[in-house]
């Protein structure tokens, strides 16, 4: 029941809801498991998604292009050159605390870089890697 509540929180209430990175990660893992029961969390898959040169967008080939090779480091927007705070919650306590914000940026950046929305499993694994705080 708790998992269901968190999924509802992530998928859609218009209210601004605070959550912890652990709760948001748990809801993506729950969704990934619901979609494919054999799903196993993978840091390696997350690291792969984070660093892979998709080459779908010429300007934005990889997540690491803006977020740098290490999630604990501050980044820079490859197009606008604006500073981006570190993605790792260990370096930036605001990260992964607002489910709507997390969804919005996953949608926008995956569409741009990967050429489609990321699956729940991809989001979960990406977060698992980023939360390691390397």
Kindly list the residues in this chain that would bind ligand HEC in the complex (CB under 6 A). Answer: 60, 63, 65-67, 77-79, 84-85, 95-96, 101-102, 105-106, 109-110, 113-114, 126
In the complex with ligand HEC, the residue whose CB is nearer, 43 or 78, is: 78
Smallest distance, ligand HEC to C-beta of residue 1, A: 25
Tokens matching residue 114: 């990967």
Alpha carbons 37 and 87: distance in angstroms, whole number: 29
Smallest distance, ligand HEC to C-beta of residue 5, A: 20
Beta carbons of 20 and 106 less than 8 angstroms apart: no
Smallest distance, ligand HEC to C-beta of residue 121, A: 13
Alpha carbons 11 and 86: distance in angstroms, whole number: 24
In the complex with ligand HEC, the residue whose CB is nearer, 40 or 85, is: 85
In the complex with ligand HEC, the residue whose CB is nearer, 39 or 75, is: 75
In the complex with ligand HEC, the residue whose CB is nearer, 33 or 112, is: 112
Smallest distance, ligand HEC to C-beta of residue 106, A: 5
Contacts within 8 Å (CB) and 24+ apart, 31-38: 31/7, 31/120, 31/124, 32/119, 32/120, 32/121, 32/124, 35/119, 35/120, 35/121, 36/121
| Entry field: residues in the chain | 134
């Amino acid at each position: 029941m708790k998992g269901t509540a968190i999924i509802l929180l992530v998928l859609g209430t218009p209210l601004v809801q605070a959550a912890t990175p652990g709760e948001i990660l748990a809801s993506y893992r729950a969704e990934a498991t619901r979609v494919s029961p054999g799903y196993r969390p993978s840091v390696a898959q997350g690291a792969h998604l984070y660093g892979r040169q998709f080459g779908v967008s010429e300007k934005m080939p990889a997540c690491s292009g803006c977020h740098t090779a290490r999630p604990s480091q501050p980044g820079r927007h490859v197009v606008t050159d604006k500073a981006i705070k570190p993605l790792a919650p260990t370096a930036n306590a605001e990260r992964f605390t607002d489910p709507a914000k997390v969804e919005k940026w996953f949608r926008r950046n995956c569409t741009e870089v990967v050429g489609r929305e990321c699956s729940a499993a991809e989001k979960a694994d990406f977060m698992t890697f980023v939360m390691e705080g390397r």
